[in-house]
Amino acid sequence: MDKTLYAELKKIYSNDILFEKEDMYPYAYDTSPNPENTLLPEFVVFPVNAKQVSQTILTCKKYNTSVIARGAGTCHCGGCRVKNKSVVMHFSKMDKILEINKEDLIAKVQPNAVIKQINDEAEKQGLFFPPDPSNLAVSTIGGAAALSSGGPRTFKYGSTKDYIINLEVVLADGKIIKTGADIAKNVTGYNLTSLFVGSEGTLGIITELTIRLIPKPQAKKVTLAYFDNLIEATQAVNNIINSGFTPATLDLLDKNTLETIEKFNPCGLLCNKEAALLIELDGFSESLNIECKKIFEILRKSNAAQIVQAQNEEENEQIWRARRSAFAAVTKLKPNVITEDVVVPRSKIVELVKGIQKICANYNIIVCIMGHAGDGNIHPNFALDLSNKEEKENFEKAKDELFELALKLEGSLSGEHGIGCEKKKYLKDALDAGAVEYMEKIKKLFDPENIINPYKMF
């Protein structure tokens, strides 16, 4: 333990600082696989305001120590991982919804406000915050903003980046800045807000967010359409969209995913089918009835084997609970689960899914494939035993082939989980060389000494 650094941090945090080795473990990981050489943070601190964050950064800088912001730690790409001597900042004492302004359709929130909590409060005023990382009951708005998280409603509503209009950020030189203004429309100067959103906590620490809200849709209808054939399921997605409909959700679950959910969390999913589409429509009740009827016709024409529509809010929730439990169910198949995230043009989903199945068959890896088919964004959940050397090596090869395939199909490395530590070795394959050069220059401009969440992205 660095005793001098501790003494200085203690002055800022009094008792809101952890230093015992055993207390460090929960703050060293996220949901990505842990490398054998995982480091622990030097200290964990719990700021209550931006000033403390600023003091911490300046103090850490003096002791050549990095600073890593952390929300719920559910990042799949190692964005929260400790790579060198670091202080982790956890925002559990900055978790308030400061204001919901119905007239201006905005809310001001602190970074550790949980997305479900924001939505519950917004709903009380007839408002809605659409971004929904499928783990919205724990995911924080700070983490979601840093990753520009997406989720199942992105097809209709866009992702987190479309709902963040202003940020308070603490920079590597200790300055506290506002990136924009609390207005829905604004093209005054460079769009710094957008630069920070999705920067994976590598450019600065977010201490307050102004988010955009929209009026809450009056009603929703959730349907599961089952198919005997994966190609027909993905074709149905195109048929729905090409007929002029914009469902909030068009998610795909393959047979392995259906079976795994049902095995560990029985909820009546049909496991004798090859694929299912989870379709959520929202809007006014009257128009939803008409839309549903027309979409059912399209599904039948697309050869849906069975269509199950939830009849009430409880049944809606039941379907969503099943969908949200997919990751947890896959964790029970093997000691490790790795959720990957690739994105391709929607027209290439079939090729992507078939390619993933082929890669996994070649390497004898269990995979449960699901994803936001409306966005061309697929999540293969790999069930593995990483303590088995051969399986680990095979997975590394499969991963290389997965990203190679996504790029060959004119897609990219991540639709919503980000790069972190896990995908940085592929970044240069996915982006124009000039773009990477300027991204690195941006990092250097904001953080010349590389102390804010270093060794991520590049």
Compute how many other C-beta atoms are within 10 angstroms of the C-beta atom of residue 455.
17
Note whether 416 binds ligand FAD by CB under 6 A: yes
Among 43, 76, 113, 423, the residue binding ligand FAD under the rule CB under 6 A is 76
Closest CA to 453 of 117, 124, 75: 75
| Segment 28 to 47, residues that bind ligand FAD, using CB under 6 A | 30-31
- Amino acid (one-letter) located at 358: K
> Where in 344-440 does DSSP place strands (E)?
366-372, 377-384
Q: Give the interface segment with ligand FAD, choosing from 3-11, 72-80, 276-284, 424-432 (CB under 6 A).
A: 72-80
Compute how many other C-beta atoms are within 10 angstroms of the C-beta atom of residue 284.
11
| Token pair listed for 358 | 């082929």
Note whether 165 binds ligand FAD by CB under 6 A: no
CB of 7 to ligand FAD, least distance (A): 26
If you compute the radius of gyration of the chain from its CA atoms, what whole number of angstroms results?
Answer: 22
| Token pair listed for 306 | 């069975």
CB of 389 to ligand FAD, least distance (A): 26
> Where in 358-430 does DSSP place strands (E)?
366-372, 377-384
Among 150, 376, 411, 454, the residue binding ligand FAD under the rule CB under 6 A is 150
Note whether 371 binds ligand FAD by CB under 6 A: no
Among 47, 180, 198, 201, the residue binding ligand FAD under the rule CB under 6 A is 201
| Token pair listed for 123 | 């709903």
**Locate tokens 């093997």: which residue?**
334
| Segment 317 to 356, residues that bind ligand FAD, using CB under 6 A | 327
Note whether 133 binds ligand FAD by CB under 6 A: yes
Of 150 and 355, nearer to ligand FAD (C-beta) is 150
CB of 55 to ligand FAD, least distance (A): 16
Is residue 66 within 8 A of residue 27, CB to CB? The reply is no
Of 105 and 328, nearer to ligand FAD (C-beta) is 328
Closest CA to 35 of 82, 68, 71: 82
Closest CA to 81 of 422, 447, 383, 381: 422
Q: What's the CA gap between 431 and 66, in Å, rounded?
A: 27
Among 41, 47, 130, 151, the residue binding ligand FAD under the rule CB under 6 A is 151
Q: At what angle do helices 285-301 and 230-242 cross, to 10 degrees?
A: 140
Of 291 and 341, nearer to ligand FAD (C-beta) is 341
Among 33, 47, 71, 380, the residue binding ligand FAD under the rule CB under 6 A is 71
| Segment 93 to 122, residues that bind ligand FAD, using CB under 6 A | 111
Among 87, 97, 122, 146, the residue binding ligand FAD under the rule CB under 6 A is 146
Contact residues for ligand FAD, defined by CB under 6 A: 30-31, 68-76, 79-80, 91, 111, 133-135, 139-140, 142-144, 146-147, 149-151, 200-201, 205-206, 327, 416-417, 453
